[in-house]
Amino acid sequence: MNNKYLNETVFQHLLKISIELSSEEDTEILMEKVLIAAMTISNADAGSIYMVDQDKNAEFRTVLNNSLNLHLGGSSNNPITFPSIPLFIDGQPNKSAMIAHAINSTKVINIKDVYDELPYDLSAARKMDKDTGYRTQSMLTFPLKDHIGDIIGAMQIINAQENNDQGEPVTVEFTSDVEEQILSFASLGAIALTNKALIKNMEELFESFAQTIAAVIDEKSPHTGGHCKRVPELTLLIADAVHDEDKGPLASFTLTPQERHQLDIAGWLHDCGKIVTPDHIIDKSTKLETIFDRIHFIDSKFEIAKRDIDIRFQKSMINALKQGNIIEVQQLERSSNVAHKQLNLDRAFIQRINIGGEFLTDQQEQHIKEIAARYSIVINREKQSLLTEDEVTNLCIKRGTLNDKERLIIQHHMNVTSDILEALPFPKHLSNVAEYALGHHETMDGKGYPKGLTKEQMSVPARLMAVADIFEALSASDRPYKKAKPVSECLTIMGKLVLNNHLDGDIFTIFVRSKVYETYILKFATPEQLDDFNIEDIPGLSHYN
C-alpha cells in the first residue's frame, strides 16, 4: 500500500474517531469503531477488544472475523460465548494466552506466526483455532492504558492481508509502520474508555454524596427519618406519570433520561440545607417542647395552683368554723369543688392543645388566654401568671407545633439549600438540579420561598417536586405532631392547596387520576391508609378530555 495513501487513510480514521469520542455515549460501540478502524488500516481479517474485569480476567467485549463472518458483542446484539481469559493462574501470570501476557507485561506484542513463535506459549490461540476452524497466523496485541498508566484492557488484531503477485490474498506480518499507526488507535480507545470511566465514577461519586447528605439529614431526626429517601422516589413516580400523560395542558411534556437523572439528584438534595437546622426544632413534637416538653413544668405549676386553692379555701373555712357559720363552710366547700373541677378541666385542655393539630379555633385560643389570666402562683415569693407569655404564644399556634419564629428557622433551610446548590459547580448535564430542588416550597401564586417564584417562572419538574414533598409529609407515619393520615384526607388537603393556588392543579390531577399515590403507599406506607373514596369528590381536580 502506498505510504502517502496509508497516512491519509490513517488520518481520516483518526479524525473520525476523535470526533466520535465526544458524541458516542456507548463505550462498547465506540471501542468497536476503534477496532474496525484499526482492522481497516492494517487490512486485518479479525480483531477483538478485551476489558479487565474485577476478578482479573480479560473479558471479551467485541469479536470480529471476516473470514468466519463472525460479529459478537459490540453493536451486534450477539452474545459472546467465549470464556474470559484469566490473567493469573494459581497466583502466577498466565503465559498460555497472548492477551494475558500483553496485559501483564504491558508491552505491545507483534507475532509473525503464532504457530511458530518462541518464547511465547500460544497454546490458547491454537485451541481456539481448533474450536472455530480458523487459522491464526500474524497477531498484533496492544494493551490499553488509562490516564494513570493502569492497564484496563487490550486490543488484538489478527492476520494482516495482502495480495500476492497472482492477486490472491495472503496473510502477512504486521509491519512496524502499521504497528506504530495502530498504536494511535489503541491510545484513542484507551482515552475513550478512561474518559467514560471517569465520568461514570464522578457520577457515582456525586450521586453517593447526595444520598449520603440525605441520609445524614434523615438521621438528625427520628421523626423525619426516610423523608429525603422517599421524596426522590415519589418525585420520579409523578414525573413518569406526567411524562406518560397524553391529554390536557401537560400532554406535550416529555422527560429525557438526562432530565430524569437530574430530577432524581434534585430529590436527594432538596432538603440539604436542613443540615444546619437545630435538632430541637426539627424534632418539636408538641407546642411547648424546646429542649424538653414544658408541659411537665406547667403540670407542676397547676399543682401549685391547686395547692393555693386548697390553702385559700381552708383558711376561709377555718374562719367560718370559728364564727360558727356552718352555712358559709358548706358554701366554701362547694366553691372549692367547683374551683378544683375547673382547674382539672383547664389542665386537661392545655395538655390536649399542646399536642398540636391541623387547626386551632379562635374559641380555643381565647380559652388559653383566659386560663393564663385565671391562675396566678407564687414562686420564690414572686407572684406570676401560671402561663408565661411565651407559653401562651406557643399554645396558641394555629397549625402544627412550630411558632412563627421557629417556622422562619425551618424556612431558612431553603436559603441554605439554595446557597449550597448554587455554590456547587454542576456540569452541564446536571445544570437543572438546583432549579428542580428549590421548587418544592414555592407556590403557584409566588408567595412561597426561597425565591417567591410564580408558576410561570418554574419548570414542570420543579413544580411537581412540591406535590411529592407535601404528599410524603401528609401521609408519613413518622411525624412528631400527627398520625399517618388516610389517603382521602391527604388528597383533600392537597386539593384545597390547589384551589388556594398553592400547588399545580394539572400535576395534582395527573397524580390523583393515575393513582400514583397508591403505588407509593403500598411501597412506603401502610395499606390501611388506602381508604375508600370517590376520586371525583377530591377538590382541585382539572377536567379535560
Count of all residues that appear for the chain in the document:
545
How far apart, in whole angstroms, are the C-alpha atoms of residue 306 and residue 308? 5
How far apart, in whole angstroms, are the C-alpha atoms of residue 239 and residue 466? 12
List Cα–Cα distances, 161 to 140, 174, 347, in angstroms: 13, 9, 99
> Which of the two residues, 2 and 65, has the higher pLDDT score?
65
Helix (H, G, I), strand (E, B) or coil at 22: coil
**Is pLDDT of 67 > 70?**
yes
Q: Which of 100-104, 125-129, 234-238, 507-511 is predicted least confidently?
A: 125-129
Average pLDDT (14-25) is 61
The mean pLDDT of the chain is 87
pLDDT digits (tens, 9 = 90+) for 393-420: 999 999 888 889 988 988 888 899 899 9
Question: What pLDDT does 236 receive?
Answer: 96
Average pLDDT (111-115) is 88
Report the 10 Å Cβ neighbour count for 188: 22
Q: What is the DSSP string of 271-320?
A: TGGGGGS-HHHHT--STTBSSSBTHHHHHHHHHHHHHHHHHHHHHHHHHH
Q: Name the β-bridge partners of 59.
A: 51
CA proximity to 189, closest of 141, 140, 146, 139: 146
Average pLDDT (503-525) is 94
Strand 85-86 relative to strand 70-73, pairing: unpaired
How far apart, in whole angstroms, are the C-alpha atoms of residue 521 and residue 11? 59
Question: What pLDDT does 159 receive?
Answer: 95
The segment with the largest mean pLDDT, out of 92-96, 212-216, 353-357, 492-496, is 492-496
Architecture of domain 221-283+428-537: Orthogonal Bundle (1.10)
List Cα–Cα distances, 425 to 29, 420, 431, 442, in angstroms: 30, 10, 9, 24
Question: What pLDDT does 22 receive?
Answer: 57
Instruction: State the sign of the Cα–Cα–Cα–Cα dihedral 385, 386, 388, 391.
Output: negative
Average pLDDT (290-307) is 87
**Is pLDDT of 2 > 50?**
no
**Is pLDDT of 274 > 90?**
no
Helix (H, G, I), strand (E, B) or coil at 150: coil
Phi first, then psi: what are they for 72, rounded to 5°? -120, 150
Q: Are 478 and 470 in contact (CB under 8 A)?
A: no
Q: Which CATH number fits domain 3-199: 3.50.50.60, 3.40.50.970, 3.30.450.40, 3.30.2010.10?
A: 3.30.450.40
Q: Are 287 and 401 in contact (CB under 8 A)?
A: yes
pLDDT band at residue 440 using 50, 70 and 90 as cut-offs? very high
List Cα–Cα distances, 47 to 76, 143, 416, in angstroms: 15, 14, 55
How far apart, in whole angstroms, are the C-alpha atoms of residue 412 and residue 469? 17
Which grid coordinates belong to 374? Answer: 385565671
Question: What pLDDT does 231 receive?
Answer: 92
pLDDT band at residue 358 using 50, 70 and 90 as cut-offs? low
Q: Are 272 and 436 in contact (CB under 8 A)?
A: no
Which grid coordinates belong to 283? Answer: 424534632
Beta carbons within 8 Å of 199's beta carbon, 6+ residues apart: none
Distance of CA 16 to the CA centre of its chain: 37
Question: What pLDDT does 12 receive?
Answer: 65
pLDDT band at residue 21 using 50, 70 and 90 as cut-offs? low
Record the pTM. 0.69
Question: What pLDDT does 11 receive?
Answer: 57
pLDDT digits (tens, 9 = 90+) for 323-332: 888 888 889 8
> Which of the two residues, 396 and 178, has the higher pLDDT score?
396
Q: Which of 225-229, 337-341, 398-402 is predicted least confidently?
A: 225-229
pLDDT band at residue 34 using 50, 70 and 90 as cut-offs? confident
Q: Label residue 398 exposed, middle or buried (CB < 10 Å: 0-12, 13-18, 19+).
A: middle
Distance of CA 93 to the CA centre of its chain: 43
pLDDT band at residue 9 using 50, 70 and 90 as cut-offs? low
CA proximity to 227, closest of 494, 529, 524: 524
